[in-house]
Amino acid sequence: MSTILAKLPIEMREDLKAPLGPIYTDTDELLAEAGDPIVAVGDIVTYHLLEADRRPDIAIVDGKTKRERVEREVLDAIDGFDDRIDVVNPQSTITDDLLEALASAVGRSASTVIVVDGEEDLAAIPAVLAVPEGGSIVYGQPDEGMVLVSISDETRARCRDLLERMESDYERIAEILAP
User: Could you tell me which residues are annotated as the binding site for GTP?
Assistant: 43-45, 62, 64, 120, 143
Binding-site residue ranges: 43-45, 62, 64, 120, 143
Cα atoms in the 13 Å half-sphere on the side-chain side of 64: 11
Question: What's the rounded Cα separation, in Å, for the pair 57 and 123?
Answer: 15
Contact 101, 83 (CB under 8 A): no
Contact 137, 108 (CB under 8 A): no
Q: What is the 3-state secondary structure (H, E, C) of 100-147?
A: HHHHHHHCCCCCEEEEEEECCCCCHHHHHHHCCCCCEEEEEECCCEEE
Strands 145-150 and 136-141: antiparallel
Question: What's the rounded Cα separation, in Å, for the pair 115 and 101?
Answer: 10
Contact 133, 127 (CB under 8 A): no
- Alpha carbon of 70 to those of 3, 135, 149: distances in Å? 27, 27, 24
